[in-house]
Amino acid sequence: MAKMKAIEAAAKILELEGVTKAFGVPGAAINPFYAALRGLGSINHVLARHVEGASHMAEGYTRSNPGNIGVCIGTSGPAGTDMITGLYSASADSIPILCITGQAPRARMHKEDFQAVDIESIAKPVCKWAVTVMEPAQLPGTFQQAFHIMRSGRPGPVLIDMPFDVQMAEIEFDADAYQPLTPYKPAATRIQVEKALTMLNDADKPLLVSGGGVINANADALLTEFAELVSVPVIPTLMGWGTIPDDHELMAGMCGLQTSHRYGNANLLASDFVLGIGNRWANRHTGSVDVYTKGRKFVHVDIEPTQIGRVFGPDLGIVSDAGAALELFVAVAREWKAAGKLKDRSAWVAECQERKRTLQRKTHYDNVPVKPQRVYEEMNKAFGRDTTYVSTIGLSQIAAAQFLHVYKARNWINCGQAGPLGWTIPAALGVVAAEPGRQVVALSGDYDFQFMIEELAVGAQFKLPYIHVLVNNSYLGLIRQAQRGFDMDFCVQLSFENINAPELGEYGVDHKAVVEGLGCKAIRVFKPEDIAPAFEEAKQLMAQHSVPVVVEVILERVTNISMGVEIDAVNEFEELAEKGADAPTAISLLD
């Protein structure tokens, strides 16, 4: 057995568990770990400008490809508390990330030592597991257990807190004998799948709802195959967007109060049966349970037993990993199809397709200042099927879900439930770090962009190029729209006359100057006809300099994006498309 510092064993386990990249900010209490990483030499480190930024980079890294687990590192005290938002957003979306923090020596943890905080207790509500390791010999087992927990059942984040003296102590550790633990993933049984398929087959107008669990299970191909076998249209959730291509004949649109399509809501409301796989019936998807469930039966497949019945009781619940369930659904569906047992769904599919063809929102506006809908139209033209979009929250994200197109799993990377402002820049950097050369386009409103703008320097320093579309209306747009119900426009204006940038008028912050000061490139656009040339220039600048390139589009100050309080009562504040020219990049043409 080899004798080594406990922290050297921990670093080696990261390597043995497949970690090749980490994001973080060093500090005194975590320096032993950084020394171990330096000695190991196999894990590339990206230095963030803020520890919260590092946690979101780890999220982007995990979300980018199957099997990835992002790692973020910080020192004691505020580094751990800075990570809490990242842990929350990862937990909410079932994303495994490993947060590692340093801690004061054990003997001084209870003595109000400098930067000593009980981060284990603080982090527990937003983690699958949070632990402060009090015995050096437990450190290898703790790291082994962390990866087992992150990969088992419903995925999620873990925090490991390590006192300084625990890191420095010597222990026995045999790296050659180390083996990752086999994750636990529940699997559906044949009788469960046959019961669910019988209910689907008995229905007249069934739908599949495909959630983020399908993406976590890397089961998008199985989802599409199953939908094709039974000829049942698919409603992806926001977290499941891309599990079936937007232009597939069975893609029936997204449903919800905000991030939804008109035809998605209409198709859901016309259905009489829903099979949900790997989804959690989020309230932005369902609206009120009464409206969402009225007149239809439900089967819910989820990896987490306590998720079944959390929002409403289904007619049948199946605890299973989405991939394991879909393998069995495909196998049984093939048998039933060969035996001629499956219904002909052509009339129902045609009905859903007709809604998709006709229920479109208008995007083609020539207004100056630019209307946001036109930005998404130009994005659809400029960026191809392989583009990965990264966004988090706000009117920009809601409109993106209504107007952009996604064709592959993991090509829409979005913080779905938590929605923290500032998430987009670091998450996009994490995606690029995971797969250099990937075409990544991030999307932010001006406030999201300003929250963690300093992380753009990371993209410049570490050559992590991507395009960031910044739609600037100098407003907290989503909150302003929500305040309409209170008959106010209060504390949501970001506008002011910048004495250093009079050309901006009342649009306040000179993002172009800040972006360039951080080592990146920026282009500002005032007219709709200049958006497409700006995107082409951004591609060239990104290729030439290998840094993030920001395209800022100055929008009209006030636009109300379609949303409502129920899926059958979405307010359409803007014009609807009546002909193809109104929505020239719509996924299905009106003409």
Where in the sequence numbering do the catalytic residues fall? 25, 51, 421, 476, 479
CA distance linking residue 99 with residue 123, whole number of Å: 10
| Tokens at 375, concatenated | 């930005």
* Cβ-Cβ contacts under 8 Å for 315 (sequence gap 6 or more): 199, 297, 298, 299
Name the region of 118 (left: φ>0; alpha: ψ -120 to 50; beta: rest).
Answer: beta
Question: Which residues, 6+ apart, have CB-to-CB distance to 215 below 8 Å?
Answer: 239, 240, 242, 243, 278, 409, 410
Query: Could you tell me which of 390, 411, 575 has the C-alpha nearest to residue 468?
Result: 390
Please, are residues 186 and 212 in contact by the beta-carbon 8 Å criterion? no
Taken in order 443, 449, 455, 461, is the CA torsion positive or negative?
positive
- Site of tokens 């970001």: 494
Residues 467 and 238: their CA atoms lie apart, in Å, by: 22
Q: Please name the residues in contact with 400: beta carbons below 8 A apart, sequence gap of 6 or more.
A: 376, 389, 391, 443
Q: What beta strand segments (E) does 397-466 contain?
A: 412-414, 440-445
Spacing of C-alpha 586 from chain mean position: 23
In whole angstroms, give the CA distance from residue 182 to residue 51: 31
Q: How far is CA 574 from CA 36, 127, 196, 284, 404, in A?
A: 57, 41, 41, 21, 17
